[in-house]
């Protein structure tokens, strides 16, 4: 705007100088006429020309000044617009700076919040993981205790059954001996003809039987054998052929292969109960397999548990753990099955059964 005003003043001065020069030339041209006393027509002509020149000067001044004023006004308007734009830009810049400052503060608060939330979530996850591991450990301990208790109860039941069988065998042996003695006494009485003696012997035998039944000592099969020999001395009996454990195992295997699980189970049980047999652990595992196929999953679990707890280093231990987990799946106890599979992966991770356990674990 200052430059425009400066140019306008300069241009005005030029116009004034030109006007002064024209006036000077006009006066110079008029002076000779005045000096020579020019005619009136010449003076009028000069005046007319002077008016034309003045009009042209005024027109030029008016046009030039108006254009300059318009330009000056336009320039002033542009300068004002530029100043307004500058002010608007400054305002926007200040607003942007203020907004950036607010965003920085919000980002700082957001970062702190994210860090706090992450730390809180991490602590929660660690606590949840610790609680889960603790619950799994407690559940595994409880499950092991329950299985051991069931195993103990089953062993006690087996012992009670064995004792009952021994008592029954002892009772039958005594009855056989008494029957043999009575037959012998009858034969003697018939040959001697002394019925009174038979009655005395019968009373004595009855008293002996009563005293023996009132006080039954705890005996093994070895203690029953002499009584059986007494009965055999009285009456002849055919010898019973006793199969070897290996024969029973092979017979049981054939029965199992032919899907006769119920018939194979007692044979496997005989082999598993014989401490002299070399395949007792395998027979125990096959007992579990028979029970599993018979859908007696709870009893199968007990047989597998005997292998896991008593023969953990045997080759059948991974298979027993895998089948135990599958038995729990059959009983719809998926949580316990998961515990068994994880225990198998932990203890026998390189075994083929671990691969199967991992697959079944992924499906639960």
Given a cut of 80, whether residue 238 has pLDDT beyond it is: no
The pTM assigned to this predicted structure is 0.41
Give pLDDT, residue 41.
Answer: 85
Average confidence (pLDDT) over 71-88: 85
Rounded Cα distance, 345 and 355, in Å: 8
Min mean pLDDT across 142-156, 219-233, 295-309 is at 219-233
Min mean pLDDT across 23-27, 109-113, 245-249, 254-258 is at 23-27
Nearest in space to 174 (alpha carbons), one of 219, 137, 141, 143? 219
How many C-beta neighbours within 10 Å does residue 82 have? 10
Rounded Cα distance, 269 and 135, in Å: 36
Measured CA to CA in angstroms, residue 268 lies from 21, 241, 249, 309 at distances of: 146, 18, 6, 19
> Can you give the residue ranges of every domain in the chain?
2-102, 245-363
| 182 — pLDDT class (breaks 50, 70, 90) | confident
Residue 243 backbone phi and psi in degrees, to 5 = -75, 145
Please give the helix or strand (H or E) that residue 206 lies within, else none: helix 195-214
| 233 — pLDDT class (breaks 50, 70, 90) | very low
CA–CA–CA angle 250, 255, 256 (5° rounding): 95
Min mean pLDDT across 36-45, 59-68, 208-217, 218-227 is at 218-227
Interacting residues of 95 by C-beta distance below 8 A, sequence separation 6+? none
- CATH for 245-363, options being 3.30.230.70, 3.40.50.970, 1.25.40.10, 3.10.20.30: 1.25.40.10
Average confidence (pLDDT) over 128-152: 84
Nearest in space to 181 (alpha carbons), one of 162, 194, 164, 198? 198
Place of tokens 């108006």: 66
């Amino acid at each position: 705007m200052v430059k425009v005003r400066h140019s306008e003043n300069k241009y005005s001065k030029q116009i004034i100088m030109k006007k002064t020069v024209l006036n000077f030339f006009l006066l110079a041209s008029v002076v000779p006429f005045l000096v020579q006393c020019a005619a009136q027509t010449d003076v009028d002509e000069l005046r007319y020309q002077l008016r034309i020149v003045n009009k042209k000067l005024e027109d030029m001044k008016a046009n030039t000044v108006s254009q300059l004023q318009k330009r000056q006004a336009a320039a002033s308007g542009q300068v004002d617009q530029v100043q307004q734009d500058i002010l608007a830009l400054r305002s926007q810049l200040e607003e942007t700076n203020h907004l950036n400052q607010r965003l920085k503060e919000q980002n700082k608060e957001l970062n702190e919040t994210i860090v706090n939330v992450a730390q809180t979530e991490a602590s929660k996850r660690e606590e949840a993981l610790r609680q889960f591991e603790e619950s799994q450990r407690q559940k595994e301990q409880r499950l092991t205790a329950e299985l051991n208790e069931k195993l103990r109860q089953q062993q006690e039941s087996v012992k009670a059954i064995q004792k009952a069988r021994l008592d029954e065998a002892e009772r039958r042996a005594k009855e056989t001996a008494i029957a043999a003695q009575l037959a012998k006494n009858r034969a003697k009485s018939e040959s001697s003809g002394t019925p009174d003696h038979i009655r005395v012997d019968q009373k004595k035998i009855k008293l002996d039987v009563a005293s023996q039944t009132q006080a039954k000592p705890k005996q093994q099969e070895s203690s029953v054998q002499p009584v059986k020999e007494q009965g055999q001395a009285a009456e002849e009996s055919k010898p019973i052929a006793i199969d070897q454990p290996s024969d029973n195992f092979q017979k049981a295997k054939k029965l199992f292969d032919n899907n006769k699980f119920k018939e194979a189970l007692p044979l496997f049980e005989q082999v598993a109960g014989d401490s002299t047999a070399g395949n007792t652990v395998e027979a125990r595992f096959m007992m579990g397999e028979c029970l599993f196929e018979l859908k007696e999953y709870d009893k199968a679990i007990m047989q597998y548990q005997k292998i896991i707890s008593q023969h953990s280093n045997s080759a059948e231990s991974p298979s027993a753990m895998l089948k135990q987990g599958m038995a729990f799946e059959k009983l719809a106890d998926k949580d316990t099955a998961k515990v068994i599979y994880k225990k198998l992966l932990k203890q026998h991770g390189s075994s083929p059964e671990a691969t199967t356990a991992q697959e079944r674990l992924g499906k639960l």
